[in-house]
Amino acid sequence: MVLAMSLLLWRFFRDPERRIPTEAGAIVSPADGTVIYVKPIREGQIPWAEKQGRTFSLAEFVQADVLPQGGVLIGIAMNYLDVHVNRSPMAGRIRLLRHIKGLFLSLKRREAILENERVLTIIDNGRFQIGVVQIASRLVRKIVPYVREGAHLQRGERLGMIRFGSQVDVVLPQLPELQIAVTPGMKLQAGTSILATCRSEAPD
């Protein structure tokens, strides 16, 4: 039993090195896990129950109004066996790092992403911004940032750790040159899997 628990804790707290893609314009996954949704953001609204036409606001989700009102929201579910160290999707400066107090509901409940405790990190590369939202769950009571507001990050650099099974969402801007590379059901690795490519930054 002790050996099994030790092995489980080792798996949970492991932090392997990752080979970060060098392709120009690549935006990488901030988390290990499975893509659970890719939702459009239109005029600051995100679909919640598409059949009923229900939406929720981006501002309510991130508790900030510095992100664009159009774009894409990608949700990544992490289970307790995934690596729980999160990484920066792109190189840039941390424009905003905000801890949003909240509840610790099960992420199976739809309202949890709006009501649960979470940490918002906005990264600015000088051309556009990306938001990373680490969301706590019923089992997760601590999100540990490794960085500070104003810090400059490299693509794939460690952002922080979120304990046990949880969720990380990514807010991407609406840009004609931005091509989304993931669909629901895909398995991702933090720092290595490409979420999207900004074609204007790619070589001719």
- The β-bridge relationship of strands 166-173 and 178-180 is unpaired
Domain count, the chain: 1
Alpha carbon separation from 135 to 29, 87, 98 (Å, rounded): 15, 15, 12
Residue 91 maps to which CATH number?
2.70.70.10
Catalogue the active-site residues: 166
pTM: 0.91
% of residues, the chain, pLDDT over 90: 75
**Residue recorded with tokens 């911004």:** 129
Which is higher by pLDDT, 165 or 118? Answer: 118
Q: Residue 97 sits in which domain range?
A: 2-201
Cα-based angle 117, 121, 125 (whole degrees, multiple of 5): 165
Which is higher by pLDDT, 56 or 141? Answer: 56
* pLDDT score, position 1: 59
Q: Provide the pLDDT confidence category of residue 204 given band limits of 50, 70 and 90.
A: very low
Burial class (CB in 10 A: 0-12, 13-18, 19+), 49: exposed
